[in-house]
Amino acid sequence: MQILTNHKMCQRLCMAALATVCGSVLADEYPSKPVRMIVGFAPGGGTDATARPIAQKLTELLGEQVIVDNRPGAGGNIAADIVAKSNPDGYTVLMGTIAALAINPGLYSKLPFDPEKDLLPVTQAVDSTNVLSLHPSVTANSVKELIALAKAKSLSYGSSGVGGTGHLAGELFNVMASTKLVHIPYKGGGPAMIDLVGGQVQLVFATAASAIPQIKSGRIKGIAVTTLKRSALMLELPTIAESGLAGYDANNWYGVMVPAKTPRAIVMRLNKEIIKVLAMPDVKSILFSQGLDPAPTTPEAFGTYIKIERTKWAKVIKTAGIKAE
């Protein structure tokens, strides 16, 4: 019996050693052909602006072309579905968004894929704060003053559309501050910003890229950022969390995912190379100019973060009664 037990133990050790060797060989041989990086939004947006410099540098590091493939539609669901149903061989990756990975599961009654079971995290790529931006006619100059004003009179906020990060940032604010800001959805962040500048809406939880030029010109005023940490883009602006709503966090993040069952060796190879890319000064500069802060993680840390975000936004969506358009 002891001999049999020892024999089984040796078998297991040999199999584990073989798996390690095979994994190393697989990582060394990968990739041997071009890699597609699927982006769920049109060129020019934050997701695309994150994917392109990363893809360019990955091409150099991997020795094979990494091609950005824009597949817009359904709030990123189309792109995520493509990747979820692709071969788990590392040749189709997703530049995922908070929308597709954390918001949409609570927003849509049914998705064509399971974001938790069908996709595997590689690394978070960037954080992208929103700026709580007000029209100059609004008398509040701090979060506490805005909360008091919003409880005394009706205020409206614009967003890029129902279920977008700007919309949910506003609803999270309503839930935590017990206010009733009125949501005005637009077909994109650009039109919402135009109406904020024109005074048709009183505030917007705007992307940093769209808000900063308007703040600098004096057309609008920024009073806080929506992330837990201050943004390197505007260190002078406090966070909403430190300004009266402890724990408030509406981070518009992006990250890389692959199909479930992608070999661990390939996941770790991609993780290692993407982290190298995000540390490059020229890449950091490009991302910084778009209001994006590099935020690389381990696959495990990113997976945990996605689950936390999914739970949080599902509660906000249910409380606010938000329905997908």
CATH code of the domain containing 94: 3.40.190.150
229/134 same-domain check: yes
**Has residue 311 got a pLDDT over 50?**
yes
Report if residue 25 sits inside a domain: no
Residue 14 lies in a domain: no
Of the listed ranges 167-171, 216-220, 320-324, the least confidently predicted one is 320-324
| Backbone φ, ψ for residue 304 (5° rounding) | -65, -40
Distance in angstroms (rounded) separating the CA atoms of residues 207 and 216: 14
Is residue 12 in some structural domain? no
Amino acid at 239: T
User: 117 with 189, same domain?
Assistant: no
**pTM, 2 dp:** 0.86
Instruction: Determine, yes or no, domain membership for 270.
Output: yes
Which of 199, 220, 243 is a domain's end point? 243
Mean of the pLDDT values across residues 112-124?
A: 96
Q: Both 216 and 304 in a single domain?
A: no
Does 269 share its domain with 187?
Answer: no
Average pLDDT over residues 64-83: 95
pLDDT band at 51 (very low <50, low <70, confident <90, very high): very high
**Number of domain units in the chain:** 2
- Residue 260 CB neighbours (<10 A): 14
Per residue in 189-239, pLDDT (tens digit) is 889 999 999 999 999 999 988 899 999 999 999 999 999 999 888 899 999
pLDDT of residue 7: 57
Q: CA 62, CA 31: separation in Å to the nearest integer? A: 7
Instruction: Choose one of 221, 243, 265: the last residue of a domain.
Output: 243
Using DSSP bridges, classify how beta strands 119-127 and 92-97 pair: parallel, antiparallel or unpaired: unpaired
Is residue 9 in some structural domain?
no
Domain boundary among 222, 243, 264: 243
Three-state SS across the chain? Answer: CHHHHHHHHHHHHHHHHHHHHHHHHHHHHCCCCCEEEEECCCCCCHHHHHHHHHHHHHHHHHCCCEEEEECCCHHHHHHHHHHHCCCCCCCEEEEEEHHHHHHHHHHCCCCCCCCCCCEEEEEEEEECCEEEEECCCCCCCCHHHHHHHHHHCCCEEEECCCCCHHHHHHHHHHHHHCCCCEEEECCCHHHHHHHHHHCCCCEEEEEHHHHHHHHHHCCCEEEEECCCCCCCCCCCCCECHHHCCCCCCCCCCEEEEEECCCCHHHHHHHHHHHHHHHCCHHHHHHHHHCCCEECCCCHHHHHHHHHHHHHHHHHHHHHHCCCCC
Provide the residue range defining the domain that includes 223. Answer: 130-243
Same structural domain for residues 138 and 214?
yes
Comparing 86 with 28, the larger pLDDT belongs to 86
106 in the same domain as 134:
no
**Per-residue pLDDT for 20 more than 70?**
no
Flag whether pLDDT at 73 surpasses 80: yes
Q: Which pLDDT does position 6 carry in this prediction?
A: 56
149 shares its domain with 98: no
Taking the C-alpha atoms of residue 107 and residue 74, their distance in angstroms, rounded to an integer, is: 11
Q: Are residues 229 and 141 in the same domain?
A: yes
Within-domain flag for 105? yes
Reported confidence tier of residue 25, pLDDT bands at 50, 70, 90? low
The whole-number pLDDT of residue 44 equals 80
185 shares a domain with 150: yes
Show Cβ contacts of residue 279 under 8 Å, excluding neighbours closer than 6 positions.
294, 296
Residue 19 has pLDDT above 50, yes or no: no
Residue 42 reports pLDDT greater than 90:
no
Q: Average pLDDT of 252-278?
A: 98
Within this chain, do residues 139 and 121 fall inside the same structural domain, yes or no? no
Q: Are residues 135 and 174 in the same domain?
A: yes
Mean pLDDT value across the chain: 91
- Asked whether residue 118 falls in the same domain as residue 85, the answer is yes
Does any domain span residue 148?
A: yes
Domain harbouring 150, CATH code: 3.40.190.10
* 155 in a structural domain: yes
Q: In angstroms, how far is CA 227 from the centroid of its own chain?
A: 12
